[in-house]
Structure 1
């Protein structure tokens, strides 16, 4: 999930979602959709900082393949 905030959030945390990138007022989160819904994640994050806009992206196939090979190599 990509969240654009009204201003740069100083500190964001979430017990399930991982912050992948934080650039100014834009933060990219990664989460397991079997552990939390996007709606719940947005609700939780918006309690910490007001969200101006957000978008959802599916995991790219390249990332899935890379993770699969990394897991097999371990």
Structure 2
């Protein structure tokens, strides 16, 4: 599956045109479960596919790793 839509960071909740993908690499495998938890955490629906942005992955590596363990990650 491919997409060219801006992506939403699961941790910080931001969506940016700078974060795009043409394949699913790096995105959560379990989007439905991640979207449900995202809404609980952030009080809103995500704008797009969920992943962990580079800034959050660097600043919160433990949180990022836990997220990938819980929701999977396309590689």
Interval of TM-score (by shorter of Structure 1 and Structure 2) = 0.3 to 0.5
Task: Give the structure with the larger strand fraction.
Answer: 1
Choose 1 or 2 for highest CA Rg: 1
Could you tell me the TM-score, scaled by structure 2's length?
0.32
Could you tell me the TM-score, scaled by structure 1's length?
0.32
Task: Give the structure with the larger helix fraction.
Answer: 2
